[in-house]
Amino acid sequence: MACLFKSRWFVLLIAVAVNTAAQKTSPRNIVTSCLGNIMRVDMGPLRGKLLEVAVVLNNSTILLTPRLASQCGFSIKADQRGSAMIYASLHNCFAQIVDDAFTTTLNLRLHGNQMAADELYHVEETCPYSDWSSREIVCDRNYMEVSVERTAPDDYALPAKSMSSSNSKSPNAQQPAEKEPLDAGFRMASIVFFTPEEETTMTVTEAQRRGYGIGNTLTRLVLRSSKTATETFSQAIGGLPMTVLKTSTVFEKKWLVTRINATAACPSDASVFFTPNTITWYLPQHIGPLTSSEQVTLLEAHMGVDGQRVDAAEMAARKYSLTINNVHVIMEIPIGAAGGHFKSHVKDDQYHTSYTIEPMLELLWSEDATRDVTRYKVLFPITTPLQPQTLQVIDNTVPDERVFKVMLGPFGSDVALMNVTVNTQVLTVEECLARGFNILEHISPNGSVKVFSLQVPFTDPVVQQMKGTLFTVNVLRLTFGLLVLPEFAPFSLSASLEAKVFDIAAPSISGVCDYENFYVLVKHGSQGFDFQTVVGKRLLTPSLARQYSYMENDTHMSFVVPFSADDAAFEAVEPMSIRSRLDVTLRIPGTNRNIKEFALACDFASTLTECFPNGTMTALAVKLESVPSLSTGQLTLRDSSCGPSYSDDRYAYFVFTGDSCGTTRKFFPNVMLYENEISLPDELETAKTEEPAYELKISCYYDINTTHAVAFHTRPRRSEPYAENANGELRVAMRLALDDSYSEFHRAEDYPVVKYLQQPLYFEIELNATNPRVSLEVENCWATLNEDRTSKPRWNLLIDGGANAVDPNQVVFHPVGMDARVQYPAHFKRFEVQTFAFAEDEDNLNDQLFVHCDVVICDARNPLGGVCASRCSNQGSGIKGQRRAVSDVHSSTHASVGPIVVS
């Protein structure tokens, strides 16, 4: 805010940067309100124009100057957003008073440059106020006012040009007095000002010439002074400095003299204290110059902002605090709370902010000796010291999008972006937009904070590019030129951005888990991107690939790793599960540089403890990653003489009975509990200093009152076990996927599906079941020219679960992982068939093909061999056509899909 004074005009200038092309001259919404013994006029945003305030009295217009404003009870507040408020005391010099109704009339003029028309507004507000106290004190930003009941009659006519004449001649002057008046003939003779050093006596006219405001109605005497007037003085009250005005007005009648004392005391800036997060304002509870006795009772205390009270709920929402102790009334306001605003500043080319709020404190007290009641109201603007702010430049660039994306801030709402220096070229915001840069301003919901965003394409000439072997590094160096308004204070913020773009697509890794395995899928990326695969800490060699059911095609490779494999790491052990993690790394050959790193961690159901009816218990202890130096062979049960029956680098297996190795027994209703634990002996545990202690609890519950009857005889078995026929439903579906993601499939209405010889066919077979212990296995798959699965000719694709040995390259299996659609991967089989497999028999190839498969459902609980336990005959190197072994045949069925047109 900057104030410009011309002659006797009071002119308020608020400069705010706006888009003049979008500015409108629509009627302004001016809001007036009556707030106790003051009136407020809310002008709203001034849009960069100058505000001139004039008061209207008896069809005459008087322009307010700063001196006249403090003398007559007016103040004007403006914030950095360009909004303005006008405050007026109800007892201002120009108020028309009728039966405790106070009417103030203002003429407001907004003017800017010569190109825009002035805005003229006429504001009139009548505020009723009858709840007068014996004494009313108002402390505003530029004046202090005291109003006291008077008993002298209103027969003293102030000079015609006096600002108090409006009150003395108001209609209210003819009404009966509230208290018994003095005899007629009294006149206001003089005013005595008291300071610690001296007493100064002035006539009313002389006091008004010195800037004091004097109002003399039938019922009240009003005195008003600037806070810096000569006759004011500073006095320490309750340890806090306050500005005091102490007067006595002399009324005379012939040989009789009477006095009315009027004293005001207002706080100074020294009563405010700051922390980085809080404003604390102290006010003495007992203000000595305003009380004549020690017996003072505080009746009410209210807190507010901008002259308006705030209720308890709103105070809690804004986190305001008002407390009262024996000495002070204490108000606490969080910095940044609602009701105030931030202002930006530039100091030493660094960005700073301050926070401004105008709290109000209103007290009501009575003095027991005189029974007089005082209403004390303070409007007290507070601004925090400048605080340096750390500005951030956030790089949101996604290299694959080929665009630099940067955000900078946060700033106050009074900061504007003027230009951007790219390398050594200075571009205005308009030039940046014309060049194709995207510049946006983002403002918070309450309008107090903003950030700027900038987007620059990699293809713009200002972006420097440095070519590497596999990638290009894009570099952008920026300096943002900013201004704080309305001071137009400049400052800058610099940033250097880099984005690496691979010239060829890098490989990627994904994976899922089922109840016993990790399934890892690696996408190759662009051709020519050579890399090595590291599983755990070992390089994926051909022999290790065979062990992990490795499969590969032109775009992907996959492998399956059991959760208990040596290359997996045990992270945690729970009573019914083990958390295992598999690390997969893609590395540039011959270097230690990693292209991609991937970690897959899952919880696998595992029974670590088994309890047998004969009282024998077994426990399996695993070596966790967090205790790398642990030797499992050193683990013991509670009885340190009971070591593992078997141990290796990762496991220790214990076998013991309920009456040995320190096993304890507890009895519960119907249950008996046996407990033991596995740990290192005390002497070995004490020697460890860095690793956590190893301890595994073992528990077995046995029913006490349960009886099992077992009958058996020794007649030899006459035949092999057989399955008894029974009714049931077994559903297997076979479908054709659009691509190797197996996320979308051809619908029934899509058939016949047309494919070309260069296009592969992606098949999926699903067992619709909810039993996780069964699995689906493909036994044989073949193609025919019609729906009859026994018709000829016939193209064999899979034989005994593996690819056709004549040409194993024509079929590739795809791993199945858990996702939103796949709950049990073992219930699915996916494989890919190359369409050129049918091209060799062109004489028999007509417009369409049908593909049929025999499938087997296996039960892992009863491994009796057969197709479920077999592997396809052409295992080769283990890279193509391989599947993992499963167990026992439970049931078999078949499925078909088609027709498919190959051309």
Contact present, 808 and 749 (Cβ < 8 Å): no
**DSSP characters over 860-902:** TTS---GGGG---S--TTSSSS-------EEEEEEEEEEEEEE
Residue 365's identity, in one-letter code, is W
Rounded Cα gap, residues 789 and 782, in angstroms? 8
Q: Looking at the predicted structure, is the pLDDT value of residue 217 above 60?
A: yes
What integer pLDDT is reported at residue 438 of this predicted model?
Answer: 92
For residue 465, list its beta bridge partners.
474
What integer pLDDT is reported at residue 609 of this predicted model?
Answer: 87
- Of 25-39, 236-250, 655-669, 880-894, the least confident: 880-894
How remote is the C-alpha of 172 from its chain's centroid? 59
User: Can you tell me the mean pLDDT for 97-102?
Assistant: 88
Residue with tokens 């040989």: 255
Task: Go through 67-76 and write b for each residue having 16 or more CB atoms within 10 A of its CB, e for each that does not.
Answer: ebbbbbbbbb
Please list, in sequence order, all residues whose beta carbon lies within 8 angstroms of the beta carbon of residue 468, skipping any fewer than 6 positions away: none
For residue 853, list its beta bridge partners.
781, 895
Please list, in sequence order, all residues whose beta carbon lies within 8 angstroms of the beta carbon of residue 662, skipping any fewer than 6 positions away: 637, 638, 639, 642, 676
- Counting residues of the chain whose pLDDT is more than 70, the rounded percentage is 83
User: Can you tell me the mean pLDDT for 813-833?
Assistant: 87
Residue 166 sits at φ, ψ, to 5 deg, of -65, -35
pLDDT tens for 123-141 read: 999 999 988 899 999 999 9
Rounded Cα gap, residues 669 and 653, in angstroms? 31
User: Can you tell me the mean pLDDT for 671-681?
Assistant: 89
Band of residue 182 on the pLDDT scale cut at 50, 70, 90: very low
pLDDT tens for 289-334 read: 988 777 888 999 999 999 999 999 999 999 999 999 989 999 999 9
What integer pLDDT is reported at residue 595 of this predicted model?
Answer: 82
User: Can you tell me the mean pLDDT for 599-625?
Assistant: 88
More confident residue, 589 or 385: 385
- Please give the order of strands across the beta sheet that includes 664-668: 664-668, 671-679, 695-703
Q: Looking at the predicted structure, is the pLDDT value of residue 444 above 60?
A: yes
Band of residue 707 on the pLDDT scale cut at 50, 70, 90: low
pTM for the structure as a whole: 0.52
Residue 206 tokens read as 């002389």
Supply the DSSP symbol for 382.
E
User: Can you tell me the mean pLDDT for 373-381?
Assistant: 94
What integer pLDDT is reported at residue 703 of this predicted model?
Answer: 85
- Of 370-379, 400-409, 500-509, 855-864, the least confident: 855-864
User: Can you tell me the mean pLDDT for 266-292?
Assistant: 91
Residue 58 sits at φ, ψ, to 5 deg, of 50, 50
Rounded Cα gap, residues 536 and 549, in angstroms? 16
Helix (H, G, I), strand (E, B) or coil at 147: strand
* Nearest alpha-carbon partner for 232 in 259, 203, 208, 263: 263
Q: Looking at the predicted structure, is the pLDDT value of residue 14 above 70?
A: no
Contact present, 245 and 223 (Cβ < 8 Å): yes
Q: Looking at the predicted structure, is the pLDDT value of residue 28 above 80?
A: no
Rounded Cα gap, residues 896 and 782, in angstroms? 10
- Of 16-20, 102-106, 309-313, 796-800, the least confident: 16-20
Residue 323 tokens read as 């407390």
What integer pLDDT is reported at residue 153 of this predicted model?
Answer: 46
pLDDT tens for 834-865 read: 776 565 555 555 568 889 999 888 876 654 55
What integer pLDDT is reported at residue 25 of this predicted model?
Answer: 33
pLDDT tens for 466-477 read: 887 667 899 999
What integer pLDDT is reported at residue 193 of this predicted model?
Answer: 95
Residue 100's identity, in one-letter code, is D
User: Can you tell me the mean pLDDT for 70-97?
Assistant: 88
Q: Looking at the predicted structure, is the pLDDT value of residue 363 above 90?
A: yes
**CA-to-CA separations, 558 to 69, 521, 524, 882, in angstroms, rounded:** 84, 5, 11, 12
Residue 833's identity, in one-letter code, is V
pLDDT tens for 547-592 read: 999 998 888 899 999 998 889 999 888 878 889 999 999 988 878 8
Determine which helix (DSSP H) or strand (DSSP E) holds 83, and give its type and residue range.
strand 83-89
pLDDT tens for 522-539 read: 988 776 667 889 999 899
What integer pLDDT is reported at residue 232 of this predicted model?
Answer: 94
Residue 127 tokens read as 């505020």
Contact present, 860 and 715 (Cβ < 8 Å): no
Residue 467 tokens read as 């070519």
Residue with tokens 């405010």: 272
How remote is the C-alpha of 551 from its chain's centroid? 44
For residue 426, list its beta bridge partners.
421
Q: Looking at the predicted structure, is the pLDDT value of residue 4 above 80?
A: no
- Of 189-203, 646-660, 773-787, 878-892, the least confident: 878-892
Please list, in sequence order, all residues whose beta carbon lies within 8 angstroms of the beta carbon of residue 807, skipping any fewer than 6 positions away: 837
Supply the DSSP symbol for 183.
P
Helix (H, G, I), strand (E, B) or coil at 662: coil
